[in-house]
């Protein structure tokens, strides 16, 4: 089975950790992830500037490692990212901002990528949000 997974909450939220555990279980079960899509406050999970307290899990780092290790298509909604100050090199230059905090393997793209993922996948599973 092919899954698309949308994450609407930041890395420190329990639903982001649940999304990560679900994604790990999908791959462990022999299934496929068509795309991970980070939207709304979920874009913070991709920020390189997230620092977890020493007594907490660093879920943002776990997401980054998971995406890199499995070479997954991980898309961060550009509109939500810009609104929250999550910028890659291109957007930081475009808006003349001094800092880049969206490293590889993340890709900024539009909401259409979520729609496409839903069309490509057998199931769209969403975590977090209001």
Active site residues: 77
* CA 51 – CA 28 distance, rounded (Å): 28
Structure token pair of residue 15: 């639903």
- Reference 2, options 90, 127, 118; nearest CA is 118
124 DSSP β-pair partners? 4
**Degrees, nearest 5: CA angle 123-125-130:** 145
């Amino acid at each position: 089975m092919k899954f698309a997974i949308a994450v609407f909450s930041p890395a420190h939220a329990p639903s982001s950790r649940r999304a990560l555990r679900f994604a790990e279980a999908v791959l462990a079960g022999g299934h496929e992830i068509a795309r991970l899509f980070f939207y709304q406050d979920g874009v913070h999970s991709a920020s390189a500037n997230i620092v977890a307290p020493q007594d907490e899990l660093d879920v943002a780092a776990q997401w980054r490692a998971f995406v890199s290790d499995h070479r997954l298509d991980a898309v961060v909604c550009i509109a939500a990212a810009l609104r929250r100050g999550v910028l890659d090199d291109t957007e930081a230059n475009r808006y003349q901002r001094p800092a880049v905090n969206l490293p590889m393997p993340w890709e900024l793209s539009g909401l259409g990528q979520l729609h496409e993922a839903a069309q490509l996948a057998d199931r769209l599973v969403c975590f977090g949000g209001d």
